[in-house]
Amino acid sequence: MSRVGRKPISVPAGVDCKLDGVELKVKGPKGQLERKLHPNMQVVIEGNLITVTRPTDGRIDRSLHGLTRTLVSNMVIGVTEGFSKTLNIVGVGYKVDLKGKALNLSLGYSHTIDYPAPEGIEFDVDSKKNIIIVKGKDKEVVGQVAAEIRKLRPPEPYKGKGVMYENEKIRRKAGKTATKG
């Protein structure tokens, strides 16, 4: 049995979970999330606990068991607490500003880049420290938006400039050295 899949998910007060066939709807203080689950997985809602079981020990069912439980758990956490990713911008002349709900990024190109906030995502910006915090209720969307912003100017290994995650370690390379000869 999957260790992750066996754990029941506790639903906090103020969160409403409904299962319609294979579609799970979770509603909480931060909003509502919907997801279609795999039809092989059996999701049971009993009071304030959600359990995910699998019908067989087949390879596909085993692989979907822990995944389904984690997706449901992330939905419950998302509508109660939400998720966030922090990005740091490092480099001379690199800066970020918030214009309405869109980011205005200066990343060393000849032009600035406007990145509009997708639905359900908000940005917090600290312009002095060049920090972007991506917040939202859907963990998948928060991670995707953070990855897209990082992709605009990935960190480079020589000077370490670029957009990087908060705890990301950049493997630095030595530059060219002049030889006497």
Residue range 65-119, pLDDT digits in tens: 999 999 999 999 999 999 999 999 999 999 999 999 999 999 999 999 999 999 9
Q: Which helix (H) or strand (E) holds 3?
A: helix 3-6
Confidence tier at 163 by pLDDT (50, 70, 90):
very high
Helix boundaries (H) for 106-157:
139-152
pLDDT of residue 128: 85
CA 36-40-45 angle, to 5 degrees, is: 65
pLDDT at 131: 94
Across-strand partners of 88?
131, 164
Beta bridge partners of 99: 102
Token duo for residue 39: 């039809």
- What is the model's pTM? 0.88
For 47-79, write each residue's pLDDT tens digit.
Answer: 899 999 999 888 999 889 999 999 999 999 999
Q: Is 152 exposed, middle or buried (0-12, 13-18, 19+ CB in 10 A)?
A: middle
Assess whether pLDDT exceeds 60 at residue 1. Answer: no
* b/e code 160-176 from CB counts within 10 Å (16+ = b): ebbbbeeeeebeeeeee
Average pLDDT value for the chain: 91
Are the C-beta atoms of 152 and 107 separated by less than 8 Å? Answer: yes
Give the chain's domains with CATH numbers: 3-80 (3.90.930.12), 83-165 (3.90.930.12)
What radius of gyration, in Å, describes the C-alpha atoms of the chain?
21
Q: What is the pLDDT at residue 76?
A: 94
The answer to whether 49 and 114 have CB atoms below 8 angstroms apart is no
Span 149-170, mean pLDDT?
A: 92
Q: What percent of the chain has pLDDT above 70?
A: 98
pLDDT of residue 153: 94
What tens digit of pLDDT does each residue of 166-178 get? 998 988 888 888 7
